[in-house]
């Protein structure tokens, strides 16, 4: 099955907490979901906002549950960088 990239991530940054507590292969898996347009555990209204932002160069935010805690993945409007951080760091 071919992966469809809907979102360019730019440079990817992790907070120190995420880097220390979430396995790298898990981070890569969540980044792949984010890049494919699977916004994770956010309300339906926020998913619609992300779909709009994807087409209109807006900020895109996904949320995923990990064993270490919920993480957010945020891609900036200009697609120059994406940040992965814990919910409590947001």
Q: What is the pLDDT of residues 8-34, one digit of tens each?
A: 999 999 999 999 999 999 999 999 999
Name the more confident of 1 and 63. Answer: 63
Tell me 71's DSSP state: E
Tell me what percent of the residues of the chain surpass a pLDDT of 70.
96
Percent of the chain's residues with pLDDT above 90: 92
Q: Which two tokens stand for residue 53?
A: 């932002």
pLDDT score for 5: 75
- Return d(Cα 42, Cα 24) in angstroms, integer: 23
Question: Who has greater pLDDT, 38 or 4?
Answer: 38
**Tokens 């940054």 correspond to what residue?**
13
Q: Is residue 55 helix, strand or coil?
A: helix
For residues 37 and 60, give the distance between their C-alpha atoms in angstroms, rounded to a whole number. Answer: 9
Cα 11 to Cα 44: distance, rounded to the nearest angstrom? 27
For the record, the structure tokens of 67 come out as 């064993």
Mean pLDDT of the chain: 95
Predicted confidence (pLDDT) at residue 2 exceeds the cutoff of 60: no
pLDDT at position 25 is 96
């Amino acid at each position: 099955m071919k992966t469809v990239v809907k979102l360019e991530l730019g440079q990817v940054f992790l907070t120190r907490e995420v880097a220390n507590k979430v396995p790298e292969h898990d981070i890569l898996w969540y980044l792949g979901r984010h890049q494919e347009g699977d916004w994770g555990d956010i309300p339906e209204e926020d998913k619609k906002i992300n779909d709009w932002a994807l087409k209109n160069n807006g900020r895109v935010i996904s949320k995923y549950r990990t064993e270490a805690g919920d993480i957010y993945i945020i891609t900036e409007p200009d697609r120059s960088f994406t940040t992965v951080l814990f919910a409590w760091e947001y």
